[in-house]
Structure 1
Amino acid sequence: MNSSQKNIFDFPEVRVVEASAGSGKTYALAKRYVCLLLSSPLKADEVAISNILAITFTNKAAFEMKERILDFLRSIAFDCLSETEKNEIIKPLGISFSEAQKRAFTAMEQIIRHYNYFQVQTIDRFVNSFLAGCAFKVGLTSNFKIKTNYIDYLQYSLDQLLEKAEKDINVYNAFEEFLRNYLYLENRLGWFPKEDILSIISMLFNQSNSYEGTFIKGPLTSSGIIKRKSKILEDMKLLSLEVKGQIHAGFYKSLESFLAKAIESGYDIDSVPKRFANEDMPTRKSDKVSDEALKLWRKIRKNLKALCEEESASLFNPYIEVYDQVMKGFYERTTKDDVLFLSELNKRASQLFSDEFVTVEELYYRLATRFRHHLIDEFQDTSRLQWQNLSIMPLEALSTGGSLFFVGDKKQAIYGFRGGDVKLFDEVKKEFSAFNLNVETLSNNWRSQRAIVEFNNAVFSKENLMDFIKKKESYEEDKNSQKVVFDENDMEEIESIFSGSQQTFVKENNKGYVEIVSIDIDKKEERDEEIRNRLLKIIKELQERFELGQIAILTRNNDQIEQVTSWLLEDQISVRSERTSDIRENGKIKELVSFLHFLNSPIDNIVFTEFIFGEIFLKASLIDPADIQSFVFGLREKLRAQQDLYVYTEFRDHYKEVWEKFISGFFKNVGIYPIYELVVSIYNEFNVLENFKDDQGFLMHFLELIKKYEEEDLDLELFLNHFENLKGDDLYVNLSDNDAIEILTLHKSKGLEFPVVILPFLGMEVQVGSQNADMRQSYLLQHKESDIELLRLKESYYAYSEELYQIYRSEYIKAFLAELNGVYVSLTRAANELYAFIPQKVGSRFNILKFLIPQELYVCGEKVKYISKSNKEAGLVRLSCGKYRNWIEYLKGEYKSFGEITNKGKRLKGKIAHFILSYIGNLSEQDLPEILCEVREQIRFEFVEERDLDIYFDNAQKLINDPDLQQYFYCKDAFVHTEKDIVDEKGNLKRLDRLIISENEVCIVDYKSSEDESKDNKEQIVEYIRIVKNIYPARNVRGAILYIDTHNVEEVF
């Protein structure tokens, strides 16, 4: 490395970019990548991109970064950069622009030629790549499969364990203990045990994969807790006798009352008299208690502390016990199927490094590359497990003159529930401070208009945040609900996180509008109705200035998405949300699924009726819907009278032509052909893609799901069951091109921007131990080195255990910051206009966010019409629908007739003869005995079970040496091809047994065993002649069917 390069980058270097919302972090990452790529001359034989690794956290972010990098390189190569960009990218490199252009051209060529080295990818994809190279070391084969839906495997393992419980008393007791604790801990009344057990196990599985370590049980069993409680109760009875008449009357009365109830029915820590939380015994001023009483008092308090801590750590032991047993079966099955789930990648990869199975040198060897420069996006959401898997490579790179570049924003750390640890952001800076650490803050907001930038600057200023916390604590003190008081360290942490919140807007973005409305209604139904009315009013007003597709509504959870989607659909407003993009909710897909259910089980009258009432059938068949309605309802009396009456048989008799044209073929062939080809043929027969262009996304996604499923199974019934239970990304179809309001959760909105954002439920709900807004849990994860405890926290514990209170306090601060970060993300998505409703309550609690936004900020800026509505369709080029053939008809050629299937011996004879003749080229240039000798060597491996092969070679020699047939084997001045593949104009592949090409003529030879199907044989070779004539239009093309058994030849012209 020359000195100029050292001055430019000063390697080794750790550069940290703190990028607030809208400040251009993708731009910064792409710019860094391009600068690294162009910083030295690129040699033709050197692949510079192979030395750079860029890690993102979503596929969308990886795509955007690649797009931006390629756009930069193109702009440099073709001199399209602005002067500002030239100063930011080219000038620091210390090279001329013409040199930069040459390097950009070379870099683009490298990316095109070596795209596999263009390492801009998600962390999961990268971890998968090095796991694939070290699979054996973690108990996998090199061909292991990655899956996303682990629920089926967990459910299977749970079912196996439930069956085992009938015979194994230990398993039975584990389930009984689990259910007893579950009913108590989760406070459930009506429930479905199996589904809830599966839900808990699934949650634990996810959490286990997010953190390093394994779940450990607490020190006490249920019986151990009961014993400790009994011992405390005995001491309390002794204390009661010892202090009678000597202590505060109120306390003595409460103690006696507690003892009476506890002796009869047991007790919970909540019911213990509160005075035991005090260090001193509540005595009367004039009385003095005995030393024995004081000794008992201290003993009781000590045991209450131990009880709280041990009970807290032990109540979830049954959860861990059942989880451990389910996971045994789970891993047995995944090992058998050679499967690894996406959520397991990082946990499994960590085994390589924690157990020192692999060194960084070996890792680079497995990856077939060595990275000198590392770029990491969204670092604030990186988990410790992920960083553990990545960190050895940046450390090695830095020690050899490389670099680490990471970008993030602590204010946007909202994925703590997935293991993201914002503290890593500062810890890594400190850890790598010896490697030329540079910290850069991006303060320009390129996204939002002035009013929105200034609004957020005011809301998240240090003064306003401090004022917010004071008001919150004052309110909680008045309501006697204060549990945590923020101390100086907490304030410093908040200040540190939001220290970079103050941004400047771009000069051109000097408009914008913000409107905040407080919904001060206590009853939820009335509050929701008010929000609904205001929301619809705002949307109608916005439609005068914006297209629907420019509006986004952000919610806290999926339940709110359902609620808001319903409101808008009821008012005939187009919506794009998880509900509307759910493939199972699409009308055309429902009709197709009904038809497939019918084909699978024709006696199901309901699904057949659903299909013939649907648009797909009616539009294709041209039957009047009123006629179908009359037909179906006319069957009511028959259906009542005949239990075994099937609607499809009545339909077949009533609409014979329609049945034959549209349904009969599928009815006869279902189960014979693959599901994918069956559904494609349905699309073709009913002209589905042409008739329902607006549903193309759903229809094509349905085919993708079938294709994906067929990799594992081909059964139609199992596919329909699989489809009913779809989960995750497979459920949703990307509908980005339609003009509709987008509704999504704030977590899904991270990294996105919209011209208009509406927040109908803006609030803060600080809950310790909750996962996220859609998945509550009653336990808290407590990490102890390589172990993870499940703690039960409740307020009554804190009075006796300072340790548990400090754990609660720490988790409360963490939950508070996560909520505050969520508010920041929500308020910074808008580019032009921002609207928010602050409801009185979030859930059942007062919405403390009311204290965050000062009333003077409720309206900022003014409403402006930015651009006139443009007709998107005018500039949109719509691709015509794909034309699908009737695959069932086409595939019939791939399946043998019944006669062929039953005459296996005849088929084998023909197959062996074809194999031998496929080696016979142009014998005018080859030696026949030598060729046959070679064939004898090969044929032994192809037809192992066939003992007497000599007869086949004798027949082949007779055929070849027949004087009438020698013209087809001894071809002077001609080229001979055997088993020649040709393709017709539609892309269909055909294979010719023998193709003889001479100067003026082309001859196609087709071998057949017998003349039984002469007509079909002739049709086939006529088709071959037609295709070959298109390839050799200037030559005479003829065909010859050579019958192996009789040596007859049928010529075809």
Structure 2
Amino acid sequence: MENLTVYKASAGSGKTFTLAVEYIKLLVADPFAFRKTLAVTFTNKATEEMKMRILSQLYGIAHQLPSSQPYLKKIKEETTLSDAQIRENAALALRLLIHNYSYFRVETIDAFFQTVLRNLAKELDLTANLRLELNDNQVEEEAVDMLIEELNKTSRLLHWILEYIQDNMADDKSWNVIAQIKKFGMNIFKDYYKDHRKQLAVVFQEKDFFKNYTARLRTIRKTAEETMKKRGEEFFEIIETHGVSVDDFKSKKSGVCGYFKKLMEGDFVDSEKVYNATAAKATESVDAWLTKANAVAGNPMYDLVETQLMPLLQSTESERKRQALLYATADLTLQHLNQLRLLEGIENKVQAINREVNRFMLSDTQALLQAMIDHQDSPFIFEKIGTQLENIMIDEFQDTSTVQWKNFKVLLLETMSRKGMNMIVGDVKQSIYRWRAGDWRLLNNIEAQFNPKMVTEKSLKTNYRSQRNIIAFNNTFFQKANQQLHAQLQELDEKQAQQVERAYQDVVQEFPAHKEALGMVEVTLFPKSEDYEAQMLASIVDKVDALLQMGVQEKDIAILVRKNDTIQTIGDYFLQHRPDIHLVSNEAFHLSASQAVNIIIQALSVLDNPDDILAKASLSKSYQVYIQGSTFETFNAMLQESTLDKLLPKTFIAQKEQLLGLPISEMVETIYRIFELQTIKGQDAYICAFYDKLNEYTQDNIADIHNFLQLWENSLYKVSIQSSNNEGIKLVTIHKSKGLEYAHVLLPFCDWDLERNDSIVWCAPQQPPFSDLPVVPISYNKTKMLHSFYAKDYIQEYVQNSVDNLNLLYVAFTRAEQGLYVFSKKGDKINSRSKLIETCLGEVAKELNTSQITGEDDAQEATYFKFGDKLPAAKIEVKQKVDNIFLTPAENIPVTIAHNDAQVSFRQSNSSEAFLQKGQETETDKQKGYIQLGSILHAIFSKIRTQEDVPNALRTLEETGVLYDNIITKEKLLALLHQRLTDPRIAPWFTNRWTILNECTILRYNPDTQRTEERRPDRVMMDEQKIVVVDFKFGTPHAEHQRQVCDYIQLLSEMHPQPIEGYLWYIFSNQIIPVK
């Protein structure tokens, strides 16, 4: 029986609809199924969308809303239930989900594994209250700084760092290696390093291993250089001996002589450069060496070439290949060895810091669980979640990493063995997160992971998102792009080429029959020129203007870019040339963009270093311009006539010493007040976010101004603020746009390079002596890697890069619903996306008969392609009442930040007698004792479900140190609890029969006061037959008590269909009063 379904879902094919339908089908069949179902996806936003989709459609089905008819129709097709049964079960499932929301397991992969981690805290020797850290970079930099500070003369790390510095200086590189160490140190969080760190640690423990290994590789490199140099010298010695010069040979310097000259100069690795076509012919033919006059048998030159020079060239070329292979491999292997041996020390320091502050790195979660699964009975691991899972749904599977999959596969196999409903959804073509270890090959080869009889694959082929012309263009373009990529890869590795071809085998999408031939695609390729960027930016503005004039609204336009830096460039250009056009971008709203936050940072800088004139000048300028309302010109004039101190608030200058004596949080609040930052409009969101980050910092670190300013410089300044405005043009990266859709998409600067030489590739050498190290980090470099033992690693990385970049184009092109507008350049280098677009565009134009293309053959003119000229009629938006309460648009609540001085109020205790006098107990003492005992009993009852929970509840209260005194002893308390809880009337309330809700808040909206009100019954007990609500009282009965319980009964009856009983329990008198 198949119980794993794999959906291959191309862009716009209804993936979220399918997921929601499958989840709702489970709930309709069994309304309690959510308790044993786990759905995981990739981002918090996707999680929120999926939860809301499920809740809203359950509501819509239960209330027969028209918007939910497609879901109802699909569910009816695949179940045997009647409409009435489906509606009834949907309503029950919705009610159960809302009241048991913590069991609604739709979450990110990270959130799921964090739950597992916390439940395994004891087994993993972790504290239960550990904090998870997401910022790897900050922690790693802190660890490197501490390592450097702790170095001493006998430290092995110091010795290694000094060697590193010496090697850098020998290679004419910077002696300051700290930044390089920090950058490379981030590799401790990479899966590949984690997989091999134990092997590396063993190797580096060997005395003098690194010294000997490095020496051998340098010898190999030096030998190769000397061998090739000698071959070159030998050639020139022979021709000199025979009185022949370079000019006597055919092609002179650019011929065979050039080959041997390069060898003498140490240039022998790049075959394409050294062993050119002329040299290749010369290994086979004497004529390739000689001019026509000398190319005659018996000629001295002819005999010299035939007997000495050509054999020398043949043997030299054979030797060159061998030596180039060794040289390139040794050179690549040596690149990062100095940094590699520092990784263990950095990792150990990170772990030490984390233990000290009770912190755990989120990036370590998967590796830690994987290690435990490898050595444990796997079901035990996931039983610790506290839920017996039977159904698993994995979304965005193409972005799953190998180690995540290893951990998930164990759980999936377990649920498959129980014949549960399991599904995987993904699209290889949308895998764009390899920098987060996502591996598209997992989905591409998913059938190899399981017994084929247990797996069924389904393809979602119809694109419901885009207009017909856009679908047709994308179908044709990506077919051509895939063919071109396949042809390139075939030359490198046939097997890898087939993998890529398979990834795009389902790229052609169908469109609904009712869709007309609407939609527009435009591609503009600018010629290479110095003003390329200016042309690009002006064209973006022109296209936006044209769309707005056609009636398109700003909120229906999106500008997608490859890098965050480009967002700033485009944003600045619009601000300068078209400030009337509104742009919306989370990437553009960084903390550093806030004038108020910058003033706080500048003030902290002045306090940290009063002699920093630049910081003081910046603060003075900001204060005068943004608070006092001066112009920049006025400020400059004031600066000529006054000192900087006089341009700052007098209070700030006068209170510098007092400010330095405050905790940093209070210091920032005081700066906010002194500089009157509330007067700068539009800063509230920034200030809130800044205070949040400041609070996080003070929890984990010594509250020191200097260190906080360093954090600001390193990372805090670029923290993004979520924008609540959705009415402007969206300016977003391609990565952030994934899963979204926009009516009109502009894609400027579509010219990024395929390869980057600053990336690190981890390789496993197979040939000695290089294989003495299990893994080696090398810099990605085509020329060196292809001519080394790492050629296969290069090809694999090149294939991955190629797929990543083609996928980026696919994701960007498929976001568009009505219009797609691409801007790039022509005549670009072979490995750029613009070259791919240029190459494919002509073929696309031939296949799409109605398309137009101009300027294709003129290198000086822009190429312009257009397909489709008709857009759907603009929709006139009429605000209508939403029929689904879960889809009611959220309204922003205005928030204002205000500063209030802390005030200390004097309160006199009336219990002073208890501290000053000892004597006879008074009536007042008795009353206080009853009140205290009542509070304690109430706290105990709020923590227990059954009588067996009493010892734990007492232990928790005992830890506070305020439980017992000379009146309330432990013995008295236990006796009273035992007497009450064994009462036949009360004992049934404290059994395992019930689902217990202790002091859970009920929210209700009061239409009279137009406010949300809270009610909190002490104890609610629920089973399938009835609900019992009990309120504990410790004084004398009042009518108000009964009204209170009546209120609880009324609220519960609106939420649940079961019969409800209500009681007041006066614990001191043990009186129980039924309430109706």
Report the TM-score, using the length of structure 2 for normalisation: 0.70
1:913 is matched with 915
Larger mean Cα displacement after TM superposition, 310-319 or 230-239: 230-239
- Residues 266-415 of structure 1: pairs in structure 2 closer than 5 A: 269=269, 274=275, 286-287=306-307, 302-354=322-374, 356=375, 358-415=376-433
- Classify 1:399/1:62 alpha carbon distance in 2 versus 1 (closer, same or farther; 3 Å): same
Out of 126, 141, 150, the position equivalent to 1:140 is: 126
Q: Is the 8 A contact 1:798 1:805 kept in 2?
A: yes
Give deviations 1:556-588, integer Å, cap 9, x for gaps.
212222222222121213322355311221234
For the residue of structure 2 that corresponds to 1:505, the secondary structure is: coil
Q: Is the 8 A contact 1:450 1:505 kept in 2?
A: yes
Larger mean Cα displacement after TM superposition, 24-33 or 433-442: 433-442
Out of 1, 4, 14, the position equivalent to 1:24 is: 14
Where structure 2 has 5 or more consecutive residues not aligned to the other structure, the ranges are 204-208, 287-304, 767-772, 846-850, 852-864, 882-887, 937-953, 969-1010, 1014-1033, 1039-1076
1:956 is matched with none
1:88 aligns with 2:74: yes
- Classify 1:274/1:738 alpha carbon distance in 2 versus 1 (closer, same or farther; 3 Å): same
Give, as a single letter, the amino acid of the residue that structure 1 aligns with 2:73: N
2:593 is matched with 585
2:136 is matched with 150
1:697 aligns with 2:685: yes
Give deviations 1:44-65, integer Å, cap 9, x for gaps.
xxx4312111111100000011
2:942 is matched with none
Cα separation, 2, equivalents of 1:791 and 1:353: 31
Out of 529, 545, 565, the position equivalent to 2:534 is: 529
CA drift of 1:174 comes to 2.6
CA drift of 1:74 comes to 0.9
For the residue of structure 2 that corresponds to 1:94, the secondary structure is: coil
- Classify 1:465/1:944 alpha carbon distance in 2 versus 1 (closer, same or farther; 3 Å): closer
Q: Is the 8 A contact 2:601 2:709 kept in 1?
A: no
Cα separation, 2, equivalents of 1:301 and 1:519: 41
For the residue of structure 2 that corresponds to 1:790, the secondary structure is: strand
Larger mean Cα displacement after TM superposition, 547-556 or 119-128: 547-556
Give deviations 1:846-883, integer Å, cap 9, x for gaps.
63221123362421222436436769999998666457
- Residues 923-1002 of structure 1: pairs in structure 2 closer than 5 A: none
Larger mean Cα displacement after TM superposition, 548-557 or 378-387: 548-557
Out of 61, 79, 93, the position equivalent to 1:107 is: 93
- Classify 1:942/1:300 alpha carbon distance in 2 versus 1 (closer, same or farther; 3 Å): closer
2:986 is matched with none
Cα separation, 2, equivalents of 1:13 and 1:297: 59
1:867 aligns with 2:874: yes
- Residues 13-92 of structure 1: pairs in structure 2 closer than 5 A: 13-40=3-30, 42=31, 47-80=32-65, 82-92=68-78
Give, as a single letter, the amino acid of the residue that structure 2 aligns with 1:30: A
Where structure 1 has 5 or more consecutive residues not aligned to the other structure, the ranges are 1-9, 474-482, 619-623, 653-658, 771-775, 901-906, 954-984, 988-995, 1001-1053
Give, as a single letter, the amino acid of the residue that structure 1 aligns with 2:620: T
Give deviations 1:480-518, integer Å, cap 9, x for gaps.
xxx972665455433322222222334565364334333
Out of 199, 219, 229, the position equivalent to 2:221 is: 229
1:543 is matched with 548
1:455 aligns with 2:473: yes
Q: Is the 8 A contact 2:521 2:820 kept in 1?
A: yes
- Classify 1:421/1:910 alpha carbon distance in 2 versus 1 (closer, same or farther; 3 Å): same
1:609 aligns with 2:620: yes
Give deviations 1:187-238, integer Å, cap 9, x for gaps.
x978964333322222x23434797443858997443223223444565577
For the residue of structure 1 that corresponds to 2:559, the secondary structure is: strand
- Classify 1:200/1:229 alpha carbon distance in 2 versus 1 (closer, same or farther; 3 Å): closer
Out of 561, 571, 574, the position equivalent to 1:565 is: 571
For the residue of structure 2 that corresponds to 1:743, the secondary structure is: strand
- Classify 1:175/1:887 alpha carbon distance in 2 versus 1 (closer, same or farther; 3 Å): same
Q: Is the 8 A contact 1:764 1:848 kept in 2?
A: no
Cα separation, 2, equivalents of 1:866 and 1:49: 42
Give deviations 1:439-463, integer Å, cap 9, x for gaps.
11111212111221111112123x6
Q: Is the 8 A contact 2:748 2:823 kept in 1?
A: yes
2:523 is matched with 517
For the residue of structure 1 that corresponds to 2:384, the secondary structure is: helix
Q: Is the 8 A contact 1:451 1:860 kept in 2?
A: yes
Q: Is the 8 A contact 2:684 2:895 kept in 1?
A: no
Give, as a single letter, the amino acid of the residue that structure 1 aligns with 2:588: T
Q: Is the 8 A contact 2:684 2:897 kept in 1?
A: no
Q: Is the 8 A contact 2:596 2:677 kept in 1?
A: no
1:789 aligns with 2:793: no
Out of 778, 793, 800, the position equivalent to 1:814 is: 800
Cα separation, 1, equivalents of 2:401 and 2:664: 43
Give, as a single letter, the amino acid of the residue that structure 1 aligns with 2:180: D
1:576 is matched with 584
Q: Is the 8 A contact 2:818 2:872 kept in 1?
A: no
Give, as a single letter, the amino acid of the residue that structure 1 aligns with 2:333: A
Cα separation, 2, equivalents of 1:519 and 1:171: 53
Q: Is the 8 A contact 2:469 2:520 kept in 1?
A: yes
Cα separation, 1, equivalents of 2:870 and 2:673: 48
Give, as a single letter, the amino acid of the residue that structure 2 aligns with 1:37: L
1:194 aligns with 2:152: no
1:554 aligns with 2:560: yes
Out of 448, 460, 467, the position equivalent to 1:442 is: 460
Q: Is the 8 A contact 1:679 1:703 kept in 2?
A: no
1:837 aligns with 2:848: no
- Residues 199-278 of structure 1: pairs in structure 2 closer than 5 A: 199-202=183-186, 204-208=187-191, 212-214=195-197, 216=200, 221-232=213-224, 245=238, 257=261, 261=265, 269=269, 274=275
Provide the aligned length of Structure 1 versus Structure 2.
Answer: 877
Out of 489, 500, 503, the position equivalent to 1:494 is: 500
Give, as a single letter, the amino acid of the residue that structure 1 aligns with 2:54: I
CA drift of 1:376 comes to 0.5
RMSD: 5.2
1:853 is matched with 841
Cα separation, 2, equivalents of 1:118 and 1:543: 43
Q: Is the 8 A contact 1:827 1:834 kept in 2?
A: yes
Out of 474, 483, 488, the position equivalent to 1:466 is: 483
Cα separation, 2, equivalents of 1:122 and 1:14: 20
Cα separation, 1, equivalents of 2:895 and 2:920: 37
- Classify 1:886/1:698 alpha carbon distance in 2 versus 1 (closer, same or farther; 3 Å): closer
CA drift of 1:108 comes to 1.6
Larger mean Cα displacement after TM superposition, 325-334 or 857-866: 857-866
- Classify 1:507/1:223 alpha carbon distance in 2 versus 1 (closer, same or farther; 3 Å): same
CA drift of 1:724 comes to 2.1
CA drift of 1:392 comes to 0.5
Give, as a single letter, the amino acid of the residue that structure 1 aligns with 2:48: F
Cα separation, 2, equivalents of 1:126 and 1:799: 41
Cα separation, 2, equivalents of 1:565 and 1:550: 17
For the residue of structure 2 that corresponds to 1:445, the secondary structure is: coil
1:779 aligns with 2:760: yes
- Classify 1:385/1:287 alpha carbon distance in 2 versus 1 (closer, same or farther; 3 Å): same
Q: Is the 8 A contact 1:34 1:69 kept in 2?
A: yes
1:717 aligns with 2:711: no
CA drift of 1:536 comes to 1.1
Q: Is the 8 A contact 2:603 2:671 kept in 1?
A: no
2:810 is matched with 824
- Classify 1:347/1:749 alpha carbon distance in 2 versus 1 (closer, same or farther; 3 Å): same
